[in-house]
Chains A and B, each alone.
Chain A
């Protein structure tokens, strides 16, 4: 393309209104995967579990986040992450690539500001795992600043509804800067931090003392302003603490399960979702090969078995679940119903492209 026509195209693009999610014909979900040749990709999925596109990723992916207005999403590398991809969801192409600054590592999750102008990325200082939120301009994709997460080893990060405050799951685990070796399991102290856009701490919630080895890792926002948090137990494997906690008014309350369910999840919750349709909260465990469903008040409802189930998001009838064997399944009170099976391994998360 000649420079002049390129500029003309650019001018035309600027003059016409940007595409919105409604125009895009874009997928309902994003999910990272490993392919049979051991390469990695990010797929856009329909509600029926069909793939609309598979975009190559330079290395293993983790989660993604959707822009509130424009049909774009940012997909993050698995921690310690060295890249994030900006994706045009309508066309399934990469339009920009983010690299963390020297000495910082992406931790797999991010979220946008309410107006979509700023992307927030969950990061650590590589040495010591102190948490940082990276700030990126969503037009130029330049880094414009950073702020503390008020904890060690942040993982998931969400913007609270009708607010520009952020909720960060500081998992509490210090890891080796070069790999994922855990260094502080005896002294770890996870928290959920509510953080104002200027970086100041609005509220910090911790679990009771006996649960300090319960790493707070993944979050689901509830429509009433509360949040649900999925945890991973790093203490004695013979103990079976709750893996779900509800965050309300800046405090955390654990949601125990009946003793007959104590081993179901093998002390590990990989993902969490809330279904607006049923009002339920669900957590997944690939290690236990199960999904546990809770009422909105945290009461245990049921377990459903599915080997290596991990990705979960709200679906038309309840939830949609992805697993390491390539299946996409609908989950409701009647159990699982397979929607599609792909020749790949779905990774940790299924991201619903919920738009305002």
Chain B
């Protein structure tokens, strides 16, 4: 029995800031002090507060130490674990109270969160199946196999109101019932873990922090739909997630929770991992299944839908990681537990990956219907550096932007669609007044142009032409007719593309054009970028009245574009200037401005 547990985040974020070295140093230091039988070190999944990583939590006190460095380990072991004195300087600032520490769940970041899909992330050791079992793991599967018929399982999922969390928002129970009613010698369950949206990492965190919950949910889906095999299609760029998933599957087999005759009930189910090579289009369900089959990842027309003719031509149920992660909780606690959270049309919670211009970058799980303001200002800690919130890009390259006037809209599927945005996979990128919306649209379009698989022409050629128009606008050569062509082309691509990739690719352009039309017009008519981002529209000038002739700017200029003699006003040769802004930062008198 250990008297203290030290939980260190082993998610991708904290791993990249050296959490494995911290774990190593902790184990060494604990052994050196002879505490190895008293203190347990656990590598967990993501706590969500990635901005403050590497993160370490010490129980029973529940202290959250943030931005821990390897050099801090000796002091922590000696002071906290040996002598019981909390190392105040490392505590997460919000938890510091005069005499005691404030519990984590009372901090702004965690207070408004409701963790269902992420409930075990940062709580258990994801590589230890017994810790998952301790948190009622595999009890939901056991309940299904012994107490419920497949029809009852589907009814529970239907009643819960769970909808797909990968972007489509299709009712999960209904999807399962389609596969269930199709007779076939073989059916499949597929988990879509090909998370490709720039800025979204909730599926990775679930797989890294709680891989068994996905394994369990897939087995439940197999039981409900009559499938005996499942595939998890996960990106090869997620090495930690892949390794933990493979260990989870191997352990589940060893414990008899996968394989033949599970828990002595006669139900057979087994799982296999397939690695994706990182093509964005493989996140589209038909392309994903084509890729699992060993072919080039390209989508095919629907119908037939996967429930009729899916993987290897057999009826298949495909769900996203986060969708599956909710299932065991729904089975264990009943549909009422889940549908009491959220709004009229969207039940439960949604995980958002919070990024961009926000203080608390990280992963948050909130009830559906929480407002964007609560996410940005309360949970996210606001926009840093005194800047002003301008818009949030939601749903990555398929989604749209939410401007400041909609900060108070309850976030759910229907509300977001009504304002031209979408829940999508849950990437939430916050932008402030120094971000140019045309540039943002160009960024996402650049991504879709790269990722278009090339099978259908509207997407392959259309997105390329669209990008060219945007490049023309941001370089100051756009005309008002270009804006009309751009808008018409957007609708053409949306209506004529084969799969979701092309159908949603123009969304970032359309939604920024609709919400921030004046910015587009400023680029075209005034040839200026209001946010000062588009370099080709920017002009850096020195005010001769303010310039003291100190020569600092001329020395820092990397291309030698600034000339002038000492104590004389300097000038910038616009033909040489590359608009890097180094001179602006260097000038002590504020004589140089970017416009």
A binds B: no
